[in-house]
Amino acid sequence: MKLSKIKELLQAEMLWGDEFLDIEVSNACGADLMSDILADNKVDAILLTGLSHRQIIQTTVMGDFAAIVFVRGKTPSEDVIELAREEKVPLLTTKFPLYESCGILYQAGLGHTQIQEKVSKDASSEDSESPQAMRLTYDIIGNDFNNAGKAAEQAKRVLKQIGIDSSIIRKVSVSAYEAEMNIVIHAHKGQLIFSITPKYIELIAKDQGPGIPDIQKAMQEGYSTAPDRIRELGFGAGMGLPNMNRFSDLFEIDSEVGKGTKVRMVINL
């Protein structure tokens, strides 16, 4: 969402930084305590706060926030605005209180893990030799059960649209769904990357997470470390990796404990 849209939604006034109205913001943090602001590690986020003293600018710079929206009609003093100008932190002010401001932006879609779909014709794709590869990339967030499965679902829709055979689509989407769920359940965050070429579809699922200490064990049918709360949701049958392996013509898994896991699958067309 553009900063200009945020300004409009919050009926905010720009204190300085008109030239930043075009920047893309993807998240927000609402807080009146510095440690809460600093603990927030979202990227491309704005800060909504009622604090308007000097330290708020420093904190914003440390926390890498893209802009500050002062709530409850707060306006900082001229020297604070000057500091923000030096630090290139655009400042806005809205009459809405913190709670309403956050609610308005949340309702408008800001900060829900938006599935990012980037469709591109990409000659330099990571593992694909084909110059005609179409690539789909989806960001997956760990533990985000509201969006879990959406990446696989969207990719499936694209495969249908471009006329891929339905038996192939099934293999790709089941594998993608299992891979996506593994990131949601077991990792912190990751990506699903599809490269669609005239000869095969390559699916890479890579994540930052705990990694897999014993891959051989993890590959066994029924082996799962999923906790009870995940099992209560119906996951954790220990069939994900075996299914991915079964449905793909080539299956590679690479994992480093404490770092993350990368699964590469190729399904021939």
Ligand X SMILES: Nc1ncnc2c1ncn2[C@@H]1O[C@H](COP(=O)(O)OP(=O)(O)O)[C@@H](O)[C@H]1O
Q: Which residues are near ligand X by CB under 6 A?
A: 178, 182-183, 185-187, 207, 209-212, 218, 223-226, 235-242, 261
Q: How far apart are CA 81 and CA 13, in angstroms?
A: 13
Q: Which does 248 bind (CB under 5 to 8 A by kind): Mg ion, ligand X, none?
A: none
Q: Which of 132, 140, 125, 131 is nearest to 162 (CA)?
A: 132
In angstroms, give the least distance from the CB of 184 to Mg ion: 9
H/E element holding 208? strand 200-208
Q: CB-wise, 17 or 190, nearer to ligand X? A: 190
Q: How far apart are CA 41 and CA 94, in angstroms?
A: 24
Q: How far apart are CA 13 and CA 28, in angstroms?
A: 18
Q: CB-wise, 17 or 242, nearer to Mg ion? A: 242
Part in contact with Mg ion (CB under 5 A); list of ranges 26-34, 35-43, 134-142, 182-190:
182-190
Q: CB-wise, 58 or 220, nearer to ligand X? A: 220
Per-residue contact track with Mg ion, 237 to 256, x per CB under 5 A? ---x----------------
Q: Two tokens at 174?
A: 């089941």
Q: Which does 9 bind (CB under 5 to 8 A by kind): ligand X, Mg ion, none?
A: none
Q: How far apart are CA 76 and CA 117, in angstroms?
A: 39
Q: CB-wise, 90 or 242, nearer to ligand X? A: 242
Cross-strand pairs, 254? 262
